[in-house]
Amino acid sequence: MNKQAGKSDRVLLYVVFALLVFGLIMVASAGIGYAQLRFGDMYYFFKRQLLYGVLPGLFILAIVSRIDYRVWRKFSFLAFGLSIVFLILVFVPGIGSRIYGASRWLQLGPLSFQPSEMLKISMIIYLAAWLESRQDRIKDFYEGLMPFLMIVALISFLLIKQPDVGTLGATIMIAMAVFFVSGAKLSHMLYMGAAGIASLFLLIKFESYRMNRFLVFLHPELDPRGIGYQINQALMAIGSGGIMGVGLGHSLQKFNYLPEPVGDSIFAIIGEELGLIGELVLISLFFILALRGLKIAKNAPDTFGKLTAVGIVSWITFQAFINIAAISGLIPLTGIPLPFISYGGTSLVFLMAGMGILLNISKQSNPSN
């Protein structure tokens, strides 16, 4: 650890605390029916989110925010390589767990976690270190673009195999944001964007459940009791909330109507119980977090700090956008948690580690920039 140059960004810290409290309240409310039915304890999800997500996350935030962020550069390749190994291990019987047809979890003794959550932060740190080391070659097709595409292709292959297209989309967007800010050519970015759209089309065309989701996106009224069930129930929840909501704890959709009420669908419960006002408050918190994070990136003392900060902000912003847009019917439905809000200890712990790194960068930033 190095002696810190200043104080961390207090506004960012307060926003993170506000998101944690908001998330705990909504997990407690949204999970009441499902928790009582499945576990016989109305506050099962709240207790586990607090004990295995929020409290460990706060501890990690406190530790990581005190470690000089430059230290992570030394371990960037090791952490990224370990994430790739973990992503492969999810397919190994007895180690990986297949749930709802997807291989996304690792079971290591009493511990279970999603390697894709570790991948996001390790990829950000690795790309920041790698791109910093070749600043003069980033615009080169063979030494900049092609190696970057190989990294993205490896990640994409493993995430598609799980399959986890929501995480794949967020991860590629994060990687491209870091690559662009590092100085990539605009033409290279346009080529990648076109290739990404074409790849998405193929992923949808050759997998029936993805095609069904796309059809439901175009026609929400299609098969409301079958393939359109989740999005129709989500839109019903959001619509019934109106401006002010039906009141905290008074949702009807969370009682075995809306799938994943504490997970991917929690934004719909927020809309039902807290209305448009509650949704705007939450979106505003994410917006403030993004602005503070980009300011930290702008004032970062070096390229590694700038790229790492951009990656972390992109991670939270893109993931929040995908979750909210999908559950609101603005993009095809996909499963990805809402940062800081959805139930899940793995996601929250790694998010808090990312926030710790961002806060440390803010301590050493140059406010005069």
Is 81 contained in some domain? yes
Task: Identify the top-confidence range among 20-24, 97-101, 214-218.
Answer: 20-24
Q: Which of 350, 296, 297, 281 is nearest to 319 (CA)?
A: 350
Task: Identify the top-confidence range among 6-10, 116-120, 138-142, 228-232.
Answer: 116-120
Q: How close are the terminal C-alpha atoms of the chain, in Å?
A: 25
Q: Which of 170, 134, 166 is nearest to 152 (CA)?
A: 170
In a 10 Å sphere around its CB, with 0-12 CB exposed, 13-18 middle and 19+ buried, how is residue 65 labelled? buried
Domain span at 139: 10-363
**Rounded CA gap, 324 and 154, in Å?**
27
Q: Is the pLDDT of residue 113 over 50?
A: yes
Average pLDDT over residues 80-88: 91
**Total H helices, total E strands in the chain:** 15, 3
Provide the pLDDT for residue 174.
Answer: 94
Q: Is the pLDDT of residue 310 over 50?
A: yes
Average pLDDT over residues 344-367: 89
Is 292 contained in some domain? yes
Q: Which long-range contacts (CB under 8 A, 24 or more apart) does 156-163 make?
A: 156/199, 158/84, 158/87, 158/88, 159/87, 159/116, 160/203, 161/91, 161/103, 162/90, 162/102, 162/103, 162/104, 162/116, 163/102, 163/207
Q: Is the pLDDT of residue 263 over 70?
A: yes
Please list, in sequence order, all residues whose beta carbon lies within 8 angstroms of the beta carbon of residue 292, skipping any fewer than 6 positions away.
9, 11, 12, 15
Provide the pLDDT for residue 369.
Answer: 47
**Which contiguous run of DSSP H or E holds residue 308?**
helix 303-327
Distances (CA, A) of 86 to 113, 254, 329: 10, 34, 33
Longest dimension (CA), the chain: 61
Average pLDDT over residues 165-170: 86
pLDDT digits (tens, 9 = 90+) for 346-356: 889 999 999 99
Q: pLDDT class for 2, splitting at 50, 70, 90?
A: very low
Q: pLDDT class for 98, splitting at 50, 70, 90?
A: low
Report whether 204 contacts 211 (CB < 8 A): yes
Is 225 contained in some domain? yes
Average pLDDT over residues 283-311: 95
Is 273 contained in some domain? yes
Report whether 308 contacts 69 (CB < 8 A): yes
Domains held by the chain: number: 1
Q: pLDDT class for 110, splitting at 50, 70, 90?
A: low
**Rounded CA gap, 117 and 114, in Å?**
6
Q: Is the pLDDT of residue 363 over 70?
A: yes
Task: Identify the top-confidence range among 136-150, 198-212, 216-230.
Answer: 136-150
Report whether 76 contacts 131 (CB < 8 A): no
Q: Is the pLDDT of residue 368 over 80?
A: no
Residue 129 in tokens:
């270190």
Is 2 contained in some domain? no
Q: pLDDT class for 223, splitting at 50, 70, 90?
A: low
Is 257 contained in some domain? yes
Average pLDDT over residues 296-314: 94
Apex CA 175: angle with CA 90 and CA 211, to 5°?
65
Is 152 contained in some domain? yes
Adjacent-strand bridge partners of 99: 102
Is 369 contained in some domain? no
102 Cα distance to chain centroid: 18
Stated pTM of the model: 0.90
Report the 10 Å Cβ neighbour count for 284.
12
